[in-house]
Copies of this chain bind each other. A is one copy, B any other.
Amino acid sequence: MTLRVGVIGVGMIGRDHIRRLSAVLSGVEVVAVSDVDAERARTVAAGVPARVLATGEELIADPGVDAVVVCSWGETHERYVLAALAAGKPVFCEKPLAPTEGACRRILAAETAAGRRLVQVGFMRRYDPGYRALRAAVRGGSIGEPLLMHCAHRNAGVPAWYVGESMITDTAVHEIDMVRWMFGEEIAAATVLVPRRSRNGGGLRDPLVLLLETAGGILVDVEVSVNIRYGYDIRGEVVCEDGTASLGEPSPVRVRRAGLAGDPVPADWRERFARAYDVELQEWVDAVRGDGPLGPSVWDGYAAAVVADAGLAALRSGNRVPVSLIDRPALYAD
C-alpha cells in the first residue's frame, strides 16, 4: 500500500520534495505532477518517472492519486487546497497556507465543514531535531517556566523576487509558527524595530527585529537579517525562570588552520533543514497511511497568517499591533 502522491508545482521546493518522496522516504511514490509551465512539468516528470497532468485540479481528481502535495505559488494554494478538500483527499500544503487572512478563513471553513482534518501545512521547523530537543528541554520542567525567547534568522542573501514584506511573510513566519508551537500559546501582539540598514540590503529595511508577545506574556525577539553574507544561521534561546535552553550549533567537523579553530556554517536553509524536511514528509506520509497524527493544521496556517499581517502593520506603522483571532474551532482543539 505505497502512498501515491501527486505534486502540484515543480519549482525549486517542488522538485526537492519530489526527490525526497521518490528516493529518500519510505512508503510513498510520486505518480503525477502538474505545473503552469507544462514543459517544466514534462521534464521533471520524466525524471521520476510520473505522469503529467494539465492542471492541479485534474491532478487532484485523478483516481490514481491518493494524496496531494502543493508546492505552487502562494496565491494558488487556496484553490488547490479547497479542491483537495472537496475531493476528500489528504493534502500537504507548503507554507504559507494562503497569503491572506481571508483565504485562510475560507479554507478553515471548508475543512471545518468537512469535519475532519485533511490538510497539513509545511512548517518544517517543528520537525528539526534541534527545535524538538529545545522544546523538550523547555517543557521538561528542570528550568522553570519560559519568560523570554531570543531568536535570530539570518540568510546570506535573498532571491530577486524578495521584497520588504517578505522579511515578515516569508522569513519571520517560520519563527511565528515555531513560537506558537514551542509554547502552546497564541501570539497576542507584534512590534517591529528598524535599526540602521545594511549596505548589503539593497532597498530593504534589513535587518529588522520582530517582537512577539504571547497570550501568556512570553516576549520573543526575532532578529531578521537577510543579506548577512557569512551564511545561514538560525538561533534560539528560551530564557526560563531557573535556566535557559538554546539550539545547539552543531557542526560535523572542526578545522584548525591559520590561527583559527573553525566550525562551518550552513550555506542555506536547504542544508540547515534537510533533515527536518525529510522527517516532516515522512511523518506526513505515515499519518496519511494511518500511522500517526497529522502535523501543523489549517488553524496553524491561519494563525500564522494573522500574526504575519500584524507584523506587516507594525512594520508600516511603527506601532505595537495586537493580534485578533476568531474562535478556535473544536476540530483544532489541542
Binding site for B on A (CB under 8 A): 2, 22-27, 129-130, 132-134, 136-137, 142-145, 147-148, 150, 152, 193-200, 207, 209, 211, 213, 216-219, 221, 223, 225, 227-231, 233, 239, 241-265, 267, 275, 282, 286
Contacts and interface: CB of A to CB of B under 8 A. Distances in A.
- How many identical chains are in the complex? 4
A35 to B, nearest CB: 23
B250 A228 contact: no
Contact of A221 (B24, B221, B263, B282): B221
Contacts of A229: 144, 241-243, 257-258
A259 B264 contact: yes
B243 A219 contact: no
A221 B137 CA distance: 25
A323 to B, nearest CB: 16
Main secondary structure of the interface of A (DSSP, over half): mixed
A245 B264 CA distance: 12
Contacts of A248: 250-254, 263
B263 A243 contact: no
Contacts of A197: 147
Contacts of A225: 147-148, 239
A27 B218 CA distance: 45
Given A246-B253, A248-B250, A248-B263, 19 more contacts: A23-B26, A136-B253, A142-B255, A143-B230, A147-B197, A147-B207, A150-B152, A195-B213, A195-B219, A223-B239, A228-B242, A228-B244, A233-B256, A244-B255, A245-B253, A245-B256, A249-B261, A250-B251, A259-B267
A286 B23 CA distance: 9
A261 B262 contact: yes
A247 B246 CA distance: 16
A239 B250 contact: no
Nearest to A27: B23
Contacts of A152: 150, 239
Contacts of A218: 195-196
13 contacts: A23-B26, A136-B253, A152-B239, A195-B213, A196-B219, A200-B241, A230-B244, A230-B256, A245-B254, A248-B251, A249-B261, A262-B262, A275-B275
A265 B260 CA distance: 5
A247 B252 CA distance: 6
A134 B253 contact: yes
A258 B24 CA distance: 31
